[in-house]
Chain A
Amino acid sequence: MSPSNLNRRDALKLLGAGSLLALGGLPALAATRGPRGRVVVVGGGFGGATAAKYLRRFGPDLEVTLVEPSERFTTCPFTNLYLAGLRTFESLGHGYDELRDRYGVRVVHDTAEDVDADAKTLRLSGGETLEWDRLVLSPGIDIRWGALEGYDEAAAEKAPHAWKAGPQTHLLKRQLEAMEDGGTFILVAPDNPFRCPPGPYERVSMVAAYFKQHKPRSKVLILDAKDAFSKQGVFQEGWREHYGEMIEWVGRSADGRVVRVDADALEVETEFGTIHKADVLNVVPPQQAGLIAHRAGTANDSGWVPIHPRTFESKQVPGIFVVGDATEAAPMPKSGFVANNQAKVAARAIVADLAGEAASEPRWANTCYSLIAPGWGISVANVYEVHDGQLREVPGSGGVSPAGAGREFRRREAEFGQGWYAAIAQDTWGTRPGG
């Protein structure tokens, strides 16, 4: 296919026209609105849904197809609040109507089976084969079953990970509700890299919030494969403030690294042979890029996908762009915010690529809020850039909420966390808050 003669100034006008597009569906067609081409996006989560929407905003003449098995996506963000009884599960679900009706994305509810990068096709489980000029993969993570001894799919039915939102989340909530007061909740935290670095620590905070209200004699124990974790200082300050001695964290050098799980006995064994017995056992296991990223040949031996940082095009397979948790993008964390930002940069790079232009210099932001107790929030925020061909934090930018900031500061960050959720859901799926 030949890209139309779109110059940069036209492209800028088109970017501005994105808002018009959103107002009344697609504006009447002008001859040179942007490059033509077929882009297929795999995965309707944070990265994929954002990519599909912004491809159509940046390139109104592109044919964009989104492949996602479920008709309603439930976010991992705020599932911890669901466990604490602070959010309904339904309020975390988002559909694809707006992507389809307002942005003109073709949404196919199916699973991508295989990629042929030479023929530029994608085969779906249902039998359909899609042709593409550029392919975007945002499949999120898969659990590395068996990488932690004793932790396979059957074990997860007894000791849930709840690291993908869905039946696992409900299972963990039922177990917490069934536990007797005075019981022990153990969370097994993995080594880096993994989905949502502050996630395990927000998880135990929200479990403690539930215990404090309903089972105040219970204990929370974190067995960690690391010696430090995201926002550690302000997490631990908040734990002392709200939960006293209820939460205990054991880092790697204090024999916190779990090497074996016995899901039937709800027991775990650490590196130096200590056995811990849980009443509810939550294992956050080692992870890797979603299967389709491996099938496409984009993942390397680490299990993650190396990318060209400026565009997020796969280093291993040209023409395939990978975003979100599946990528090797340190120091960016594997967060929904980052997946959303990466998808926009990739969408713009694809439009530039199809128009025969160079991608502009990118910048990405991240803000991860964590809730420690109702009305007590903390955050980490950063801006990232490409420097000498590598991703890095912009020097002088970023940081964690200050220690000792006081009740009012924490209350406002808890409120901003709620605002963030509404905004990213709206920006990614176009759904209204709570809808």
Chain B
Amino acid sequence: MNTQNQTGKKRNGPDAGIWVRMVIMLAALGVVVLTIRTLRPPADTEPDSPPAPATAPGAEEFAAKIEVMAQSCAACHGTDGALHTSIPPLAGKPALIMQSQLLAFREDQMPGATVMPRLARGYTEEELRALARHFAELPPGGTTRSTP
């Protein structure tokens, strides 16, 4: 078991719920989405840049675990989370938005949500944040573009 999993159980503080709802509302207006999209460099500009150095013991193991875990999501969101259907794609969406949504699912603070709260409770907060970062870095629609 990774020691980082324990820290993942910590709450964000009493205001986390309000913060989460605020971000979601802004996202609905498209404000945050557009801002972050323009600030964030495209994910594939530096394909050969070295990975970030390991900062904590177990960091590499944690990253490896997240890489495999993320592949589960493809069964509903398409390979690399890039498929558009009645289920939204994940690839290339801002990490901040996805993190707040995943944590809101986990805390049952997403009215009308269906399966996602049941699934999000299967992961620690830290894992959900890392999964959001994983999908944010993937090119939108990258792997599902139909070949001509």
Contacts and interface: CB of A to CB of B under 8 A. Distances in A.
Interface of A: 8-9, 11-13, 15-20, 22-23, 54, 101-102, 337, 340-341, 344-345, 348, 360-365, 367, 379, 381-385, 394, 396-399, 401, 409, 412-413, 415-416, 418-420, 422-424, 426-427, 430, 432-433
B76 A420 contact: yes
Contacts of A15: 67
Q: Output the residue of B73, B142, B147 with the most chain A CB within 10 A.
A: B147
A426 B122 contact: no
24 contacts: A9-B51, A13-B51, A15-B67, A18-B80, A22-B79, A23-B145, A54-B71, A101-B147, A348-B68, A360-B65, A360-B68, A362-B69, A363-B65, A363-B68, A379-B115, A383-B119, A385-B122, A412-B112, A423-B78, A423-B85, A426-B144, A427-B75, A430-B79, A432-B146
Contact of A419 (B86, B122, B143): B86
**Top-8 shortest CB links A-B:** A383-B122, A397-B122, A419-B85, A419-B87, A419-B86, A394-B122, A360-B64, A22-B143
Given A8-B64, A12-B64, A19-B139, A394 B75 contact: no
B118 A381 contact: yes
B-side interface mostly: loop
Contacts of A17: 47
Place the interface of chain B in its size category. Answer: 35 or more
A19 B77 CA distance: 15
B15 interface: no
A183 B117 CA distance: 42
A427 to B, nearest CB: 4
Interface string B55-79: 0000011011101110111111111
Contacts of B87: 416, 419-420, 423
Contacts, number: 147
Contact of B76 (A348, A399, A424): A424
A399 B67 CA distance: 25
Contact of B118 (A345, A362, A397): A397
B83 interface: yes
Contacts of B118: 381-382, 397-399
A22 B144 CA distance: 9
Contacts of B80: 18-19, 22
Interface of B: 1-2, 47, 51, 60-61, 63-65, 67-69, 71-80, 83, 85-87, 112, 114-115, 118-119, 121-123, 137-139, 142-147
A-side interface mostly: helix
B136 to A, nearest CB: 13
B51 A12 contact: yes
B143 A363 contact: no
B69 A363 contact: yes
Contact of A427 (B61, B78, B112): B78
Contact of B83 (A9, A383, A423): A423
B74 A423 contact: yes
A402 to B, nearest CB: 9
A26 to B, nearest CB: 14
Nearest to B71: A344
A11 to B, nearest CB: 7
A16 B77 CA distance: 17
B114 A418 contact: no
Contacts of A397: 118-119, 121-122
Contacts of A398: 118-119, 121-122
B72 A363 contact: yes
Nearest to B61: A360
Contacts of A419: 76, 85-87
